[in-house]
Amino acid sequence: MTHAIHVAARSHTAKIILVTGSTDGIGLATARELAERGCAVIVHGRNARRADAAVREIAAATGNRNVTAVAGDFGSLEEVRALAAQVLRTSPRLDVLVNNAGIAVRRRRTTKDGYESTFAVNHLAPFLLTNLLLDRLRDSAPARIVNVSSGVHTSGRIDFDDLQMEDGFDGWQAYSNSKLANALFTCELARRLDPAAVTANFLHPGVIDTKLLHVNFGGGAPVADGARTPVHLALAPEVASVSGCYFVNRRQTRPAAATGDTRLATDLWRVSSALTGLAWQHNREGG
């Protein structure tokens, strides 16, 4: 695996951007476009082999050698913590975090932590990773957090009595629920952040022909189309001070009404903190 990120020592202008789930699909297209634009890109994959292969592909396609790899399975909170530690150890700065990694499954399965996999990978993992990297993002201000949600967040539901969907699992509903969780997380995160230091926005990338969509639900547009809005939110000067908003086709759009429910968002944050161990960690550090 690629080791330390040296770009900060060589260049004070190249933005350092971590793109999760960037070994294929929208994530890979996003990472490639960011590298094409001269950014120092941290590619993330489930394992080192996949991440290193994506780094070689991006470097060959763009000529950008400031592309490095990190690995961690989002189905394991322990690996998410190790991933965060690796980023903090190897990158002295982090200008943008793009939370792109996600799954969709037809049948219910659980992670090694015992959580329903769609909820765990799509929501709990980026929730934990973002919180673990927040101080580095603040220290790199102005910084940005870009969360890849989906238009299907509008049909999502957050049922605190059955977050793990043990009672009648449906893959499409689980995916929709996780995308609403992404949206609520973004809105609550934005309320907790100083937008002059760190912004947080979420987006619908379009109906894109990724492995996730094609295998589970059918085809869509080319992956390059899906990268346009994440890249826009990561780099565009005109959104530098915009936070807590939803974007489709690079334009700010009204999200589902549920995203304005601050109690729902704060309750989800509290429960997510408990499920990921952040609440315990904060209590220990505060005590």
Q: Could you tell me whether strands 40-45 and 67-71 are parallel, antiparallel, or unpaired per DSSP bridges?
A: parallel
Instruction: Spell out where 178-268 has E strands.
Output: 198-204, 246-248, 251-253
Which of 160, 137, 177 lies closest to 272, judged by CA? Answer: 160
CB 129 within 8 A of CB 84: yes
Is residue 246 among the annotated active site residues? no
User: How is residue 44 written in tokens?
Assistant: 């993330």
Sheet holding 96-99, edge to edge: 67-71, 40-45, 16-19, 96-99, 143-148, 198-204, 246-248, 251-253
> What is the distance between the alpha carbons of residues 8 and 5, in angstroms, rounded to a whole number?
7
Catalytic annotation, pick one of 175, 185, 246, 269: 175
Give catalytic residue positions.
Answer: 175
